[in-house]
A = this chain, B = another copy of it.
Amino acid sequence: MAKYEEISNKVRERIYSGEYPIDSMIPDQNSLARAFGVSRMTIKKALDILAMEGLIYRQRGAGTFVTKTALRNERDSAVDEYDGLSTQMKGRKLVSKSIEFAVEFPTPLIQKKLMIEENEPVYKIVRQRSVDDDLLILEETYMPAKLVPGLSRKHAESSIYAYIKGELGLEFGGAFRQIHADKPKEYDLLYLNCREGDPVLEVEQVVYLKDGRPMEYSKSRNRFDTRSYNVIDIKKDN
């Protein structure tokens, strides 16, 4: 582990432990550099991480301060959907029931989202997923077959992402999501166990690999009364 990461962890610990209390000024960068026996640039880099996390803020000419920790507790709620539900719901009971598993040619919409031609086959995976036996999610996923060779119904029932990261060694770069509210469709009544007139929360996303190739287009539908989508937004400049 790099020095700046170690220092970053230690300082974060000091904030959590109360050694650097809320609203207080922490030691200046030169003092920290001497104390940790590193150069000031390394201290700066360590503090950059904590600033990105919203734990500290800095004022040129004044000092470095611990924020009112506002964004701290909420950090745990952060969602990285490209890690897959299996990772997110660690420690909880996740069951995925595969409703459809097929290979087909992409519709124009899918072609556009996945940036592929009409003759490149895609997997179509429809799953009903449940968390702790009650939270229901209906998920429709498309992946280019070329990118994810050897995918099977078995992976769909456990964790597709574990297969992609573990077996294929692919790395994710990010995702673009749109969250909408929608009226329930026939499928929702059936698989989400919701009533006529209940709204549905839909998360539509394209997940990209590190090099920018789209790897997944999916729509995830949730009962309005069981799930919300959380976003943490930390301003960069100023």
* Interface of A toward B, CB cutoff 8 Å: 22-23, 54, 57, 65, 67-71, 74, 80-82, 115, 171-183, 197-201, 206, 208, 210-214, 224, 228-235, 238
Who on chain B is nearest to A70 by CB? B212
Contact A238 B210 (CB under 8 A): yes
Contacts of A229 in B (CB 8 A): 178-180, 229
Contacts of A212 in B (CB 8 A): 22, 54, 57, 67-71
Contact B231 A177 (CB under 8 A): yes
Shortest Cβ distance from A224 into chain B, in angstroms? Answer: 4
Contact B211 A57 (CB under 8 A): yes
Contact A211 B181 (CB under 8 A): no
Contacts of A54 in B (CB 8 A): 173-174, 208, 212
- Decide yes or no: A201 and B173 within 8 Å by CB, A213-B70, A231-B231 being known contacts: no
Complex Cα gap A183–B235 (Å): 32
Who on chain B is nearest to A184 by CB? B199
Contacts of A197 in B (CB 8 A): 183, 197
Please tell me which one of the listed residues B80, B173, B235 contacts residue A174 in the complex, with CB atoms under 8 A apart.
B235
The copy count of this chain in the complex is: 2
Contacts of A213 in B (CB 8 A): 68, 70
Contact A181 B68 (CB under 8 A): no
- Decide yes or no: A171 and B68 within 8 Å by CB, A179-B229, A229-B178 being known contacts: no
Please tell me which one of the listed residues B67, B211, B224 contacts residue A68 in the complex, with CB atoms under 8 A apart.
B211
- Decide yes or no: A179 and B179 within 8 Å by CB, A115-B68, A238-B210 being known contacts: yes
Please tell me which one of the listed residues B178, B208, B228, B231 contacts residue A71 in the complex, with CB atoms under 8 A apart.
B208
26 A–B contacts, CB within 8 A, in A order: A54-B174, A54-B212, A65-B211, A67-B212, A68-B212, A69-B212, A70-B115, A70-B176, A70-B208, A71-B174, A81-B233, A82-B235, A171-B238, A172-B238, A173-B238, A174-B235, A175-B231, A175-B233, A177-B230, A179-B231, A180-B228, A181-B182, A181-B199, A183-B199, A199-B224, A231-B231
Complex Cα gap A208–B182 (Å): 30
Complex Cα gap A74–B80 (Å): 18
Complex Cα gap A230–B175 (Å): 11
